Amino acid sequence: MKKTIYFLLSFIIFFTLTIKVDAASSLSAPSSVYNGSSFTIQASVSGVAAWEVHVRASGPVSGCVINAADSDANANNTSRSFSATCKATGTGTIRITMSGNTTTASGATNQISGSRTVNVTNRPANSSSNSSNKSSGSKNNSNKNTNNKEDSKSSDTALKSLMVEGKNLTPEFNKDVTSYNVTVDNDTKKIKINAEANDSKSTVTGAGEKDVKEGENKFDVVVTAENGDKKTYTINVTVDTKPIVVKVNGKKYTIVKKKEELPQLDIKHEDMSLNIEEQEIPAYRVDKLNYVLVGLKDSDGKVRLYIFESFKDSSKPFKYTLFRQLKFSQSFISYLEFPKNLIPDGYKKYKEKINDEEIEVYKLTKGSNYSLFYGINIETGEKSIYKYDSKENTVQRYDREELKALEKQMKENKLITIGFVGLSALLLIIIVLMIATRRIKKKKSVKYNKVLKQEKLKRQ
């Protein structure tokens, strides 16, 4: 009997210890809130040793962002919860989404996802308490009717669009962002602000043509909802009194002087500043690539990052090279000019658009799906030739040994072709000579026979 009990206990303990704990994730949020109120969302993971959790929200809301990436110190499975505060900024539907991945102690990796919707409505107005007398009751009913009418009015204070004609706002327009910057040339005297309300029942003031002066200028665009609620959008306009103009490939650009106007850089970098023409210029330093990047603005107001190469040697003239970052699913590559000594034999230069960047590539034929380009891996700092498949939109490092073997094979094929052509030409020459020799011999034979015949006739 004791043996049986021990066996059962051992089986239960073994079964308990070997139960698989699955990784799990969850996202929680209230189903409905009032406009203007704050609420909390929570993302949770369990049964995981490492995690990367991202939560975003769209719609009439501010806040609502979670970015959490970490691991258990002992690499054991554990549980974690993360929260964020959100605020409803208008009526409608807020959509909250969760993404990321987790890894268990056993090494299993799982993608996590989830979504919730939050309905935002206006808070109902409080009605007065009923009075026992009829006049008071009648007054309360009147108040109720008035409140109901107010509740039915739109509270949408958002803009549908906002722009300064001919210029780019920084950041790009988003109805939930209320502050923007723009820089104009030093000879600019007027600008024109265009704004459109998100709700046709709302009114907009502050748009139209505006005078600007040197330095900083501030303009407010106010949206008034049907129910009287207001929201103010601010545009800070800077008139650049000392623009730094540079030329790149014969085209004029101005150097960006405000950090907030620099394009976002997705790779690891440090913020820094340069002194150009005795002015402080914001820049990015990418140590892995030994790059310093500055912003150059073209005549259309578009800003792109350029490699500032002169910081290494102040005695050399300033040089700017367009920073072209090619993004692929597993790698980030900065495009470089193809070294002439590395161009494979038989390849010709073409232009090709790869992920919105037009670069120079090398192909065997124009219609080929495969092309070669030269670049530097942003994560490793290693320069290499890369092979791009336009059909699959994939890239891989081109093996130099493979390239050498291909070049050797192409050279051998070239020699074989030259040899074949040479041999064919030689054979053709021999045949021509043989035919010519036969014709000459035939002519000589006919002439000799004719002479013999004449001699024979003379003897007779």
Question: Considering only CA atoms, which of 261, 184, 175, 254 is closest in space to residue 217?
Answer: 184
Check pLDDT > 70 for residue 291: yes
Check pLDDT > 70 for residue 74: yes
Q: What's the pLDDT score for residue 349? A: 92
Check pLDDT > 70 for residue 144: no
Average the pLDDT over 394-418 and give the result: 71
Q: What's the pLDDT score for residue 232? A: 94
Check pLDDT > 80 for residue 80: yes
The whole-chain average pLDDT of the chain stands at 81
Q: What's the pLDDT score for residue 199? A: 92
Q: What's the pLDDT score for residue 436? A: 80
Q: What's the pLDDT score for residue 418? A: 84
Going by pLDDT thresholds of 50, 70 and 90, the confidence category of residue 404 is low
How many CA atoms, within 13 angstroms, populate the side-chain half-sphere of residue 219?
Answer: 26
Q: What's the pLDDT score for residue 312? A: 55
Q: What's the pLDDT score for residue 192? A: 94
Q: What's the pLDDT score for residue 82? A: 87
Q: What's the pLDDT score for residue 194? A: 95
pLDDT top residue among 365 and 414:
365
